[in-house]
Amino acid sequence: MDNKYLDNIINELKNYDGPEIRLMEVCGTHTAAISENGIPSLLSDKIKLISGPGCPVCVTVTAVIDRLIELSLMENTCVLTFGDLIRVKGTKGSLADAKGDGARVKMVYSPMDSIKLAKENPLMNYVFAAIGFETTTPVYALLIEEAKKLGLKNLKILTSLKTMPEVIRWVVKNGSNIDGFIAPGHVAAVTGGKIFEELSKELQIPFVVSGFEGEQLILTIYALVKMAGKGGYKNLYKSVVSEAGNLQAKEMVEKYFETSDSFWRGIGKIKGSGMTLRPEFMEFDAGSIGLDEDHEPAGCRCASVLVGAISPHECPLFGKKCTPDNAHGACMVSTEGSCYNYFISGR
Amino acid sequence: MKITMAHGSGGESTSRLIEDVFAKYFNNEFLSELSDSAVVPGSSKLAITTDSFVVTPILFPGGDIGRLSVCGTVNDLLMSGAVPKYITCGCILEEGLDMEILEKVIASMAETAKEAGVIVVTGDTKVVEKHSDVSGLIINTSGVGFIPEGQIIPGPSKLEDGDKIIVSGNLGDHHATILGSRMGIENDIRSDNAPLVEMTRKLMDAGLIVHAMRDVTRGGLGTVLNEFVNASKCSIILNETDLPVSASVKDFCGILGLDPMYMGNEGKMVISVSAKDAEKALLLIKESKYGENAKIIGEVKKEKESSDNTNVIVTTKIGGKRVVGPMYGEGLPRIC
């Protein structure tokens, strides 16, 4: 990109002096990329970036963590999970804490690793902690397909799968005063950009689908500033995101999962905001239904941070009792969490 | 042949293992005595360090646990301004370990020791029952180095205003190698495990004013630089575009959500050197073995920006500013 063009845009954003504009990024990877690129330091104080409920670890309710711990302590059972989730606290500590009590918990880098483990150790029952958004769900569908094909009886998933549109509606309807959304590029690559175009029309708020490089985020923010108050939709990540999305991935998800109500940390139930295994594939489910309880640690304000109602700095625990090495809330645990990113990059 | 519990019995099998593997490769006048302790010539001022090595896999692209165990200890001595002289080798072997692998590791240790100019003067082996979390072999090395007469010892509290920060090469290679091996990802990334003898010697011999010097291992550059600013009560301003990271590691990090600033290395160091000596220091490092990708990455400002852990600041590619704190947690890949 022409540097001068970018410099002019950055200059305009730094000197913006109109009415305050509140922009929300709903994707945890965007939250991390905004911090990594030092973007807040390039914007006028009147342009506020607010992190939304797009970090999968952060929106998982404590009942899911508790259930995983329960499973990990069962005989011949091993819980497989991505790294971040290991340190998130349930009502009685985290999976990492449970390891000290003899729990079997193994960190994996891809859900497909669990196929190999289940094949090699037929006497061990494996449960994969299947959390994530539209981006990750197709991989879980592949996992079930493969497990079915191989006839694996010792591999199940515990699902806490979320989808974006309903929670975005919830955020808008519950008074977060958002003037524009940085739409999640990875989610849109799977779902297609169209669902965000539809949301922009329905909610009368602008949506811009964005990539994850610094320049791309600056252009997205610039577009949203220009569109604020007028609504509209733009896809600035066309190299990856089509309007229809990844049809093959969507088909796979459709085959194994169905839309369900889902429970979100600090929000509660949102109708049609999740995915669970279809009834015919429930043999692969490790008890995901009805995990709705949610208990935040005392003083933790993750729930308000998640929906953009307060900034991490407004939580009384932030940076004092709650730091990445001693995280109280999930938003401080995950490298995509708002609190973690505000803390480590000095936002 | 495999390692059995008999190899740790202290009897004939143990003697044969020591003769056939350890003494064979570490052959030198001090060790060959096989006495209870090595008696070696000394110096008036010594640097002493110890380090233990547990890594899975034992053999990885670009190196192995043996090379690693020499480099780690030798580099620790070098960073104190010492000339490394002697190291020890304590091995904890798991029963079932392949003798061929052990031999490969010990041969590699011997070769690395030779390269680094140190002698393995004494050692010990124990055999333990198979343990599921270890991949066959744990090594401990202790090292002794001589501090030359009149040598100024660099330290993290000695940074001065205007100092330039130089890193000796690409970041994250070792970390990416190990993670890639564990995940079965094929790529061309190789561990950087290397003894930094030549570059440190050249800097010392040239009499350059090196205020601080650290090898960049676990915790990565971000953690080391935070130790510097906290100890010296100053700030460091880095330029993101100057941070050396290979294209392969950059891609690897992009996929897994890792930050090279917090990735471990086993053959890299960072120095804080007075501005007037910076170009010369850079040249000396670049001319040394393992230093070809060295870069000046930033500079020291004596005034502190604010509270602890917020004084290492990166100017990003697009001109933004972000704080680089020390590493928190385990540097785990993020999901989604």
**If we measure between CA atoms, which residue out of B72, B215, B83 comes closest to residue B147?**
B83
Using the predicted structure, report yes or no on whether residue B260 has a pLDDT greater than 90. yes
Using the predicted structure, report yes or no on whether residue A287 has a pLDDT greater than 60. yes
- B239: its two tokens: 């330029």
Q: What is the H or E stretch that residue B25 is in?
A: helix B24-25
Query: Hey, are the CB atoms on A84 and B332 less than 8 Å from each other?
Result: yes
For A345, name the nearest residue in chain B, comparing CA atoms only: B323
CATH 3.40.50.300 for the B156-323 domain, yes or no = no
* CA of A252 vs chain B CAs: smallest distance (Å): 17
Q: How much is the pLDDT for B219?
A: 87
Nearby residues of B331 by Cβ (< 8 Å), 6 or more positions away: B175, B220, B258, B259, B262, B263
Query: Which tens digits make up the pLDDT trace of A37-84?
Result: 999 999 999 999 999 998 898 899 999 999 999 999 999 999 999 878
Using the predicted structure, report yes or no on whether residue B78 has a pLDDT greater than 90. yes
Judged by a CB distance cut-off of 8 A, whether residue B336 touches chain A is: yes
Query: Hey, are the CB atoms on B328 and A344 less than 8 Å from each other?
Result: yes
pLDDT band at B331 (very low <50, low <70, confident <90, very high): low
Q: How far apart are CA B194 and CA B64, in angstroms?
A: 11
Query: Hey, are the CB atoms on A29 and B334 less than 8 Å from each other?
Result: yes
Domain assignments of chain A as residue spans, ordered by start: 62-162+245-284
Judged by a CB distance cut-off of 8 A, whether residue A135 touches chain B is: yes
Using the predicted structure, report yes or no on whether residue B187 has a pLDDT greater than 60. yes
Tokens 């410099």 locate to A7
Size of interface A-B (CB pairs under 8 A): 102
Q: How much is the pLDDT for B304?
A: 67
Query: Which tens digits make up the pLDDT trace of A83-111?
Result: 788 888 899 889 988 988 889 999 887 88
CATH number of B5-146: 3.30.1330.10
- A72: its two tokens: 């990990």
Contacts of B319 in chain A (CB under 8 A): 7, 10, 38, 42
Tell me which of A41, A47, A218 to substitute to probe the interface with B (most B C-beta atoms closer than 10 Å).
A41
Q: How much is the pLDDT for B171?
A: 97
For residues B37-46, average pLDDT: 85
Nearby residues of B151 by Cβ (< 8 Å), 6 or more positions away: B81, B204
Query: Which tens digits make up the pLDDT trace of A194-217?
Result: 999 999 999 999 999 999 999 999
CATH code 3.30.1330.10 region(s) in chain B: 5-146
Query: Hey, are the CB atoms on A82 and B318 less than 8 Å from each other?
Result: no
Provide DSSP, B45-84. Answer: SEEEEEEEE--SSSEETTEEHHHHHHHHHHHHHHHTT-EE
Nearby residues of B267 by Cβ (< 8 Å), 6 or more positions away: B71, B75, B169, B174, B191, B192, B193, B194, B195, B196, B290
* CA of B91 vs chain A CAs: smallest distance (Å): 27
Residue of A27, A109, A325 with shortest CB distance to B183: A109
pLDDT band at B333 (very low <50, low <70, confident <90, very high): low
Query: Hey, are the CB atoms on B334 and A345 less than 8 Å from each other?
Result: no
Query: Which tens digits make up the pLDDT trace of A224-240?
Result: 999 998 889 999 999 99
> Can you tell me the ipTM of this complex?
0.80
Residue of B315, B322, B335 with shortest CB distance to A36: B322
Cβ(A254)–Cβ(A233) below 8 Å? no
Judged by a CB distance cut-off of 8 A, whether residue A121 touches chain B is: no
Q: Give A152 or B16, the one with higher predicted confidence.
A: A152
Dihedral-angle region of residue A83 (phi above 0 means left; psi in -120 to 50 means alpha; beta otherwise): alpha
Q: 0.90 exceeded by the pTM?
A: no
For A129, name the nearest residue in chain B, comparing CA atoms only: B335
Contacts of A84 in chain B (CB under 8 A): 332, 334-335
Work out the burial of residue A316: count CB atoms within 10 Å of its CB; fewer than 13 is exposed, 13-18 middle, 19 or more buried. Answer: exposed
CATH assignment of A62-162+245-284, among 3.40.50.800, 3.20.10.10, 1.10.3210.10, 3.40.50.11740: 3.40.50.11740
**If we measure between CA atoms, which residue out of B70, B66, B90, B323 comes closest to residue B197?**
B70
- B144: its two tokens: 């002794």
* CA of A4 vs chain B CAs: smallest distance (Å): 11
For A137, name the nearest residue in chain B, comparing CA atoms only: B336
For residues B149-153, average pLDDT: 87
**If we measure between CA atoms, which residue out of A32, A267, A93 comes closest to residue A167?**
A267
pLDDT band at A266 (very low <50, low <70, confident <90, very high): confident
Q: How much is the pLDDT for A209?
A: 97
pLDDT band at B334 (very low <50, low <70, confident <90, very high): low
pLDDT band at B330 (very low <50, low <70, confident <90, very high): low
Judged by a CB distance cut-off of 8 A, whether residue A30 touches chain B is: no
For A335, name the nearest residue in chain B, comparing CA atoms only: B334
Query: Which tens digits make up the pLDDT trace of B80-112?
Result: 999 999 999 999 999 999 999 999 999 999 999
Cite the DSSP H helix spans in B139-246.
173-183, 197-205, 220-232
Please provide the average confidence, as pLDDT, over all residues in chain A.
93
pLDDT band at A283 (very low <50, low <70, confident <90, very high): very high
Contacts of A335 in chain B (CB under 8 A): 257, 332, 334
Query: Hey, are the CB atoms on A214 and B320 less than 8 Å from each other?
Result: yes
Residue of A107, A186, A325 with shortest CB distance to B329: A325
Of chain B residues 213-252, which have a CB less than 8 A from chain A? none
Query: Hey, are the CB atoms on B333 and A82 less than 8 Å from each other?
Result: yes
* CA of A35 vs chain B CAs: smallest distance (Å): 7
Using the predicted structure, report yes or no on whether residue A170 has a pLDDT greater than 70. yes
Residue of A133, A214, A344 with shortest CB distance to B316: A214
pLDDT band at B206 (very low <50, low <70, confident <90, very high): very high
CATH code 3.90.650.10 region(s) in chain B: 156-323
Tokens 């304590």 locate to B90
Query: Hey, are the CB atoms on A83 and B334 less than 8 Å from each other?
Result: yes
Judged by a CB distance cut-off of 8 A, whether residue B332 touches chain A is: yes
Cβ(A277)–Cβ(A285) below 8 Å? yes
Residue of A37, A87, A107 with shortest CB distance to B320: A37
Q: Are strands B164-167 and B269-273 parallel, antiparallel or unpaired?
A: antiparallel
Of chain B residues 133-192, which have a CB less than 8 A from chain A? 182-183
Cβ(B72)–Cβ(B133) below 8 Å? no
Query: Which tens digits make up the pLDDT trace of B290-299?
Result: 999 999 999 9
Q: How much is the pLDDT for B39?
A: 85
Judged by a CB distance cut-off of 8 A, whether residue B318 touches chain A is: yes
Nearby residues of A73 by Cβ (< 8 Å), 6 or more positions away: A98, A101, A102, A103
Residue of B183, B314, B336 with shortest CB distance to A136: B336
Handedness of CA A57, A60, A66, A68 (dihedral sign): negative
CB atoms within 10 A of CB B100: 10
Q: How far apart are CA A340 and CA B334, in angstroms?
A: 12
Q: How much is the pLDDT for B11?
A: 79
Contacts of A338 in chain B (CB under 8 A): none
Contacts of B320 in chain A (CB under 8 A): 37-42, 214
Q: How much is the pLDDT for B306?
A: 66
Using the predicted structure, report yes or no on whether residue B10 has a pLDDT greater than 90. no
pLDDT band at A306 (very low <50, low <70, confident <90, very high): confident
Q: Give B185 or A68, the one with higher predicted confidence.
A: A68
CB atoms within 10 A of CB A194: 15
Of chain A residues 257-276, which have a CB less than 8 A from chain B? none
Query: Hey, are the CB atoms on B335 and A344 less than 8 Å from each other?
Result: no
